[in-house]
Amino acid sequence: MLNILLVEDDEALSSAIREKLLDEGFSVSCAFDGKQAAETLDEAHFDLIISDVMMPKMDGFE
């Protein structure tokens, strides 16, 4: 099973994407800003990161 980190500050959009990925059999963790994503990356291994670019605190490029 692939482990995905979804980084999206729009919670409704994040929830919809997460549900679709779960339906497809992926394991999904969510972060809602760049800083939270960076902290999550320190705690776990991910096979794929899907990231919004324009987010508060730290953008998707950082």
Q: What is the pLDDT of residues 3-56, one digit of tens each?
A: 999 999 999 999 999 999 999 999 999 999 888 998 999 899 999 999 988 777
What is the number of structural domains in the chain? 1
Residue 33 lies in a domain: yes
Residue 60 lies in a domain: no
Distance (Å, rounded) from C-alpha 62 to C-alpha 23?
A: 30
Expressed as residue numbers, the domain containing 8 is 3-51
What pTM did the predictor assign? 0.87
Write the single-letter amino acid at 24.
Answer: E
Identify the CATH number of the domain in which residue 8 sits: 3.40.50.2300
Residue 27 lies in a domain: yes
Q: Which residues contact 47 (CB under 8 A, 6 or more apart)?
A: 2, 3, 4
Residue 23 lies in a domain: yes
Tokens standing for residue 40: 């999550």
Residue 10, CA atoms < 13 Å, CB-side half-sphere: 8
